[in-house]
């Protein structure tokens, strides 16, 4: 790039949980941007990068921000995770224990808003546009920066597929693909021991990662955060499924955020909350499996049926992206550059009804994206509800 061709500086960051598809998105943005005449910076560790930059030319800021080249992004572009690393940092709510050393004397409250520092750091680095890639938590702070005058073009990422405004978030397809594959692997053990297989999957508020694999035939039943279910009723259905199966097993997918009647709140693996106020979920599958075993004699002529309980967890997060999560991030990255080249910002790149588009960035904080239970979930049969696939989006169930 020559001085005469230089158009400005674009910064990229990835926040929240890792998913396959982040590196292909970073690669697509960087290569296109460089060829269009932009300089590209990558913030490391999500929003922790911008708050840790020291505004001194003599200070080495590379632990928190690096200049991206084609050579750098090509090395990781086809792999999972994010080579820029990630975090759940929220610059508007930074605790003293997480305060950058050079800001400790300036910000002394228990929780501090470092947005003024972020804005000054962007100016110091000469950033013209910011492309955050993340879920609704990460992007909600992107909305805040946009309201502060930063030119933001955002890309949705989360395996839960619950960012409002888009039918598809990076990571979702690989999560569904991996879930189906892992469930099929566990079937042999469930069948060998004639058990009920209870599998916990991601999904704090939305049950897409449980509902879609079930629709694809991975499970007999699924329970989702949008519907508080009755354990005894679920047990009856699973016992019927198991006893009608020649291999004598049944499968239930359980969203991590699912709750059942008599259960006070979601099941947390520990009580500490992250910067966005979320406690770490986990364990509802194991709790539910115990309850199911307790109820099985009632529906199985007095005989107890044992279970296999498995939390898929990071097995669906790690590893390489599938085809969808290799193609969509490439398209999203180029869509972001299309907008920037037109001088457009304050937008979220999206997929809607099978077509690439963009939406106002504020849609991220305007609503929550949940499954429309009345339209897509059979609360009596505890499984997906569908009547016709005509004119439906690729993933059928895409929004509330």
User: Do the beta carbons of residue 232 and residue 296 sit within 8 Å?
Assistant: no
364-399: burial string, b at 16+ Cβ within 10 Å, e else: beeeebbbeeeebbeeeebbbbeeeeeeebebebbb
Do 209 and 182 meet the contact criterion of CB atoms below 8 Å apart? no
Residues 6+ apart with CB under 8 A from 105: none
Rounded distance between C-alpha atoms, residue 24 and residue 71, angstroms = 13
Q: Sign of the C-alpha dihedral, residues 30, 33, 35, 41?
A: negative
Indicate the SS3 state at residue 248.
coil
The SS3 of residue 379 is coil
**What DSSP string runs through 284-298?**
HHHHHHHHHHHHHHH
Q: Which two tokens stand for residue 381?
A: 């049969």
Interatomic CA distance for residues 135 and 164, integer angstroms: 9
Distance from the Cα of residue 276 to its chain's centroid: 14
The CB density around residue 286, as the number of other CB atoms within 10 Å, is 16
Give CA–CA dist 324/172, Å, rounded.
9
Nearest CA among 239, 230, 296 for reference residue 263: 230
Dihedral (C-alpha) 305, 266, 384, 357: value to the nearest 10 degrees?
Answer: -150
160 is catalytic: yes
What is the rounded distance in angstroms from the CA atom of residue 127 to the CA atom of residue 8?
7
Helix (H) or strand (E) holding 366: helix 363-366
Q: Given 18, 137, 160, 325, which residue is catalytic?
A: 160
Residues in Cβ contact with 61 at an 8 Å cutoff, skipping those fewer than 6 apart: 52, 53, 54
Active-site residue numbers? 160
């Amino acid at each position: 790039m020559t001085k005469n061709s230089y158009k400005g500086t674009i910064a990229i960051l990835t926040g929240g949980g890792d998913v396959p598809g982040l590196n292909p998105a970073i690669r697509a943005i960087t290569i296109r941007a460089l060829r269009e005449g932009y300089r590209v910076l990558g913030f490391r560790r999500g929003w922790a990068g911008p708050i840790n930059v020291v505004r001194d030319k003599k200070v080495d800021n590379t632990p928190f921000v690096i200049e991206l080249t084609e050579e750098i992004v090509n090395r990781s572009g086809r792999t999972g995770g994010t080579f820029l690393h990630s975090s759940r940092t929220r610059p508007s709510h930074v605790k003293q224990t997480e305060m950058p050393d050079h800001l400790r004397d300036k910000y002394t409250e228990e929780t501090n808003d470092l947005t003024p520092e972020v804005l000054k750091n962007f100016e110091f680095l000469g950033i013209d546009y910011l492309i955050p890639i993340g879920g609704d938590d990460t992007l909600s702070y992107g909305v805040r920066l946009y309201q502060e005058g930063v030119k933001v073009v955002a890309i949705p990422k989360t395996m839960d597929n619950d960012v409002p405004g888009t039918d598809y978030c990076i990571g979702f397809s690989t999560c569904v693909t991996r879930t189906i594959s892992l469930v099929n692997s566990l079937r042999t053990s469930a069948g060998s021991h004639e058990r009920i297989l209870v599998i916990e999957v991601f999904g704090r508020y939305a049950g897409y990662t449980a509902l879609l694999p079930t629709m694809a035939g991975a499970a007999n039943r699924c329970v989702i955060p949008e519907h508080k279910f009755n354990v005894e009723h679920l047990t009856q259905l699973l016992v019927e499924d198991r006893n009608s199966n020649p291999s004598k097993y049944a499968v239930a997918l359980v969203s991590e955020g699912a709750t059942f009647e008599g259960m006070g709140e979601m099941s947390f693996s520990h009580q500490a909350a992250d910067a966005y106020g979320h406690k770490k979920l986990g364990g509802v599958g194991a709790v539910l499996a115990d309850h199911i075993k307790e109820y099985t004699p009632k529906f199985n002529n007095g005989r107890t049926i044992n279970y296999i309980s498995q939390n898929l967890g990071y097995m669906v997060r790690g590893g390489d992206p599938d085809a969808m999560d290799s193609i969509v991030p490439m398209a999203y990255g180029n869509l972001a550059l299309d907008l920037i080249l037109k001088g457009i910002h304050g937008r979220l790149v999206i997929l809607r009804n099978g077509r690439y588009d963009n939406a106002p960035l504020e849609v991220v904080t305007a609503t929550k994206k949940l499954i429309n239970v009345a339209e897509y979930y059979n609360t009596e049969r505890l499984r997906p509800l569908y009547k016709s696939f005509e004119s439906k989006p690729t993933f059928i169930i895409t929004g509330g």
